[in-house]
Amino acid sequence: MANGPLLEVQNLETHFKTQDGVVKAVNNVSFHVDRGETLGIVGESGSGKSVTSLSIMRLIPSPPGKIAGGKLLFDGENLLDMSDEEMRAIRGNRISMIFQDPMTSLNPVLTIGRQITESLELHMKMSQRESRNRAVELLSMVGIPSPARRLDDYPHQFSGGMRQRVMIAMGLSCNPELLIADEPTTALDVTIQAQILELIKRLQRELGTAVIIITHDLGVVAGMTDRVVVMYAGRIVEEGPTDEIFANPRMPYTIGLLRSIPRLDESADRRLTPIRGLPPDLIGLPQICAFSPRCDYYVAGKCDAQVPPLRTVGPDHRAACLFDITLETPIPETAVPA
């Protein structure tokens, strides 16, 4: 086993061809995941977080999608150089994925048991009996009562939370080194959400799996992750340890995100400040800071002159802003356009 990070994404570029032009959904993205670590990828809809995860799995629908450049080093090997055959041996085995909507992610005409045992038979070469026993074990591990009986049930006989548990059981069936959870709790209500997150956390501690959690929910990130990557318009705009990002965000976008959510530990009369404007169209994005049209700290002639590089602003903490802006920086009056 190679030393170094479990997964290293280097300069990943994923493009989609559309009728209006090429959408650069993921644009020069680099980050890494260490063994046993939990990484959060945050961003609003269309920021490229899901495309990043699908790129790692090499599941980008092609056409129209295409991984146009970069490297995906998993345990030292570039996933992009692998044959489809080799990639299939990794999917579900060493890297597995949990999808957003448990209601549609299970095949309605196959029993739960059939769907869990499938990857066990594929990757672990287990016999039917062995894989069945393992499936029972997995279901009880994710907290499904009377698992042996539930194995022959169909997805429609499970509730949403239970289905997501089944999905997690499927994801963990082959003891993957990396689990990618793409908005695992978005489709669930808050109580179930807490249970599912607690479950992922517990299983990660027990199994030592590295987890990438993709979400737009900062609450999930705060509770679950060691490090955070913030994405905006296909680029990483800030990355760092979770505590540091929440205590000392350095990118105006992150600051805006944090200001727009309520906190329990603040005075009741603070108004929430939303980020104004809309995310940019990803077709033909100019070479400027993509957030600048919405930024309160916009400086003409600087922000619209280049794409700000990620620069180190603290230990392990990098932000893509030209200026040293913190939570305390006052919002300049002139910045608000008439």
Enumerate binding residues for other proteins (CB under 8 A): 57, 59, 63, 87-93, 96-97, 99-101, 104-111, 118-119, 122-123, 145-146, 152-154, 157, 167, 170
Q: Please, what is the minimum distance in Å from the beta carbon of residue 10 to other proteins?
A: 22
Q: Please, what is the minimum distance in Å from the beta carbon of residue 219 to other proteins?
A: 24
Q: Which residue's CB is nearer to other proteins, number 178 or number 289?
A: 178
Q: Please, what is the minimum distance in Å from the beta carbon of residue 25 to other proteins?
A: 16
Q: Which residue's CB is nearer to other proteins, number 20 or number 85?
A: 85
Residues composing the chain: 338
Q: Please, what is the minimum distance in Å from the beta carbon of residue 199 to other proteins?
A: 18
Q: Which residue's CB is nearer to other proteins, number 157 or number 159?
A: 157
User: 253, 230 in Cβ contact below 8 A?
Assistant: yes
How far does Cα 132 stand from its chain's mean position? 31
Q: Which residue's CB is nearer to other proteins, number 92 or number 252?
A: 92
Q: Which residue's CB is nearer to other proteins, number 27 or number 93?
A: 93
Q: Please, what is the minimum distance in Å from the beta carbon of residue 97 to other proteins?
A: 4
Q: Which residue's CB is nearer to other proteins, number 23 or number 98?
A: 98
Distance between CA 89 and CA 193 in Å, rounded? 31
Q: Please, what is the minimum distance in Å from the beta carbon of residue 275 to other proteins?
A: 30
Q: Please, what is the minimum distance in Å from the beta carbon of residue 280 to other proteins?
A: 27
Distance between CA 314 and CA 240 in Å, rounded? 9
Q: Which residue's CB is nearer to other proteins, number 57 or number 313?
A: 57
Q: Which residue's CB is nearer to other proteins, number 121 or number 198?
A: 121
Q: Please, what is the minimum distance in Å from the beta carbon of residue 158 to other proteins?
A: 11
